[in-house]
Amino acid sequence: MGVNEFSYILNKEQMLSNFSFNDFFSEYNLKTIDNKDLFLAALLSFKKLNTTQIHKLSFLTFAEEKIIIPFEFIKMPHGPFSKDMGELLKDFSKRGLITMNEETHRDWKENIWELSDSGQMLVSTNKLKIDKIKKELEKIIEAYGVNAAALERYCYNNYLLKSANEKPQDYEARIKTNIDNLQIILTNRIRDLENIEDIDEPCRVAILACFDYIDNLLKVLFSNVGIDQVIRGVLIKKAENYINVWGEIIRLANDNGEKAKIKDLLRDSKELFNFINLSSKSYGVFESVF
Amino acid sequence: MKKESLILMDTNICIYRTLAYVQPKIYRDELDKVTNKINSLSNNNFQCKFVISDLVVSELRDDKILFWEISNFCIARLHIRNRYESLRIFNEAKKSMEKFISKYGIENSLYEKIKEYHLNLDNINQFYLKFPAKLQNLTKLKISNMNPRQKQVKINQRPNNLPEESDRKLLGQAIEIKKIHHSDVYIFSNDGDFTEFIKEIPTEFNVHILNVDDIVPSYATP
């Protein structure tokens, strides 16, 4: 038979042993938007958008809000770009759901996309679903705005993309230093978690296994065999977030911090871990444990 | 082995059976042996009835226990290098466990008849305490690959080196089933707390122990 009781008798107040195994590790249901048409319709129902805005806002929905959307992103000269979204814009045009106007500026041109009457009809006939998607998009627009240049800059800076004037070897060195540093912090987290007395052993072993997953993923990202810059950057940033969340959990546990706060952080850690797994698998970077 | 024997499966056996179907396939002798035994003993010749007790079901449905058992199996038996593999195997096993439980889980009618199994616990404790050296060795063996923290937990679960309570309860249930079942009753286990007493338990309680390595005879006895 298996093990029934894992609790320890400790004199000091127990923190992490107050939480169930599922608080530490379980499959987390990530938000998913699986209808491409409604996603684009919802995005354009806010306002007219140019091509850069559409691609960047879609990307940030995936990367920042950790929402699984049916678009894959690759690095193009202006940052994260989705071929699927490019195809969808053409398809929407053909179906008369959107119109495209070319606006000419002093030294450049941009394509502005706008919902047509048929497009507005698509929105009103799917109002409930569209409103749900818009709620998520609002968070992105509120946090990052719609300025195309600012969105592009944010994607470059936050997701470690290679700018046009950066040499490939400098980009590679920058990324590798970043990964090296994360692995050093991860080693410290492993040591910290091993030293915490107040945690049920199966929970500790499960989290150490998650850390092992992150460590192996970082090794794959370090070696960079055919991994696109965009997903590489996303996975490095999310691994960093995950390691940081665990730093905070361990700190609060050691300081007898607020239980509710720890519970929230444990949920965040599960969300991040699931997102990393799912994205690694769907982009063919690394396997998933789920 | 008698025809129409009733075989109570221990947690480790249920986990082996489930792991035998995890993809990509795990090649371990004991997994195939468990699957083959279940198949051959439930065929027309033996017509044995395999049952998962409510005690085992609650362990299998407890993610903490299931993960712990699988993680220990991965480390001790599979010698996996990447610890995260245990998470993947755990998630795979979890997905197929429910099907297995719904097929072999104890029926309410049988459970109602053995509800008083805990009354056997005193006798079971007295029986085991007759073998202090054997019990001490078993505890030693069980904790040999554990870290100090894990050792402490295990020792707490085995007062006077007695088998864990859930094992003693399972034996209590088998004793109750024997009172009402017309044929032999077995506990199918890979746990030393049962397999090291393969002769003594039947003599004392008239309940047999089936080990993973036991050879299934060609024909059932009536």
Q: Give the tens place of pLDDT for each residue, B130-185.
A: 999 999 999 999 998 788 878 888 999 999 999 999 999 999 999 999 999 999 99
Q: Does A165 touch chain B (CB under 8 A)?
A: no
What pLDDT score does B159 carry?
95
- Antiparallel, parallel or unpaired: β B185-189 and B6-9: parallel
- A36-158: CATH topology is Arc Repressor Mutant, subunit A (1.10.10)
Cα–Cα distance for residue pair B81/A123, rounded to 1 Å: 52
CA distance A154 to chain B (A): 33
Domain ranges (residues) in chain B: 6-108+117-211
What value does the mean pLDDT of chain A take?
93
CA distance A87 to chain B (A): 35
Which of A175, A4, A50 has its CA nearest to residue B154? A4
Q: Does B83 touch chain A (CB under 8 A)?
A: yes
Its pTM surpasses 0.90: no
- What integer is the mean pLDDT of A148-177? 97
Q: How confident is the model at residue B34 (pLDDT cuts 50, 70, 90)?
A: very high
Q: What is the dihedral of CA A195, A196, A197, A200, to 10 degrees?
A: -120
What pLDDT score does B147 carry?
80
Are A201 and B153 inside 8 Å of each other by CB?
Answer: yes
Contact list in B for residue A1 (CB cut-off 8 A) is 10-12, 55-56, 59, 164, 166-167, 170, 191
Structure letter (DSSP) for residue B116: G
Cα–Cα distance for residue pair B179/B15, rounded to 1 Å: 28
Residue type, B59: E
Residue with tokens 């036991």: B214
Residue with tokens 């299998």: B60
Neighbours of B177 (CB within 10 A): 21
What pLDDT score does A7 carry?
43
Q: Does B35 touch chain A (CB under 8 A)?
A: no
The 3-class secondary structure across A81-139, one letter per residue, is: ECHHHHHHHHHHHHCCCEEEEEEECCCCEEEEEEECHHHHHHHHHCHHHHHHHHHHHHH
Contact list in B for residue A21 (CB cut-off 8 A) is 62-64, 67
Q: Give the CB-side neighbour count of residue B200, counting CA atoms within 13 A.
A: 15
Contact list in A for residue B84 (CB cut-off 8 A) is 209-210, 212-213, 216, 289
What pLDDT score does B92 carry?
92
What pLDDT score does A1 carry?
57
Q: How confident is the model at residue A9 (pLDDT cuts 50, 70, 90)?
A: very low
What pLDDT digit, counting tens, does each position of B82-106 carry?
A: 899 999 999 999 988 999 999 999 9
Are B153 and A5 inside 8 Å of each other by CB?
Answer: yes
Q: How far is CA A177 from CA A7, A180, A213, A230, in A?
A: 41, 5, 20, 17
| Structure token digits, residue A241 | 């977030």
Is the pLDDT assigned to residue A12 strictly greater than 70?
no
Cα–Cα distance for residue pair B8/B41, rounded to 1 Å: 13
Cβ(B77)–Cβ(A202) under 8 Å?
A: no
What pLDDT score does B216 carry?
79
Residue with tokens 């129409």: B4
Query: Which among A4, A21, A27 has CB closest to B166?
Result: A4
Query: Which among B62, B150, B170 has CB closest to A201?
Result: B150
DSSP H/E element including B87: helix B85-104
CA distance A207 to chain B (A): 9
Are A1 and B67 inside 8 Å of each other by CB?
Answer: no
Neighbours of A290 (CB within 10 A): 16
- What integer is the mean pLDDT of A95-103? 94
Q: Does A117 touch chain B (CB under 8 A)?
A: no
Are A4 and B149 inside 8 Å of each other by CB?
Answer: no
Least confident of A9-13, A96-100, A156-160: A9-13
What pLDDT digit, counting tens, does each position of A185-237 carry?
A: 999 999 999 999 889 889 999 999 999 999 999 999 999 889 999 999 999 99
Is the pLDDT assigned to residue B221 strictly greater than 90?
no
Are B68 and A2 inside 8 Å of each other by CB?
Answer: yes
What value does the mean pLDDT of chain B take?
93
Query: Which among A4, A5, A212 has CB closest to B82?
Result: A212
Q: How confident is the model at residue A14 (pLDDT cuts 50, 70, 90)?
A: low
Phi, psi of A167 (to 5 degrees): -75, 145
- Per cent of chain B over pLDDT 70 is 100
Which of A29, A19, A25, A18 has its CA nearest to residue A207? A25
Higher pLDDT: B66 or A105? It is B66
Are A201 and B68 inside 8 Å of each other by CB?
Answer: yes
This model of the complex carries an ipTM of: 0.85
What pLDDT digit, counting tens, does each position of A50-92 carry?
A: 999 999 999 999 999 999 999 999 999 999 999 999 999 999 9
Q: Does A10 touch chain B (CB under 8 A)?
A: no
Is the pLDDT assigned to residue A4 strictly greater than 70?
no
What pLDDT score does A247 carry?
97
What pLDDT score does B11 carry?
96
Count of A-B CB contacts under 8 Å: 95
What pLDDT score does A104 carry?
85
Which of A276, B172, A219, A199 has its CA nearest to residue A288? A276
- Name every residue whose Cβ is closer than 8 Å to that of residue B203 and which is 6 or more positions away in sequence: none
Domain ranges (residues) in chain A: 16-29+164-282, 36-158
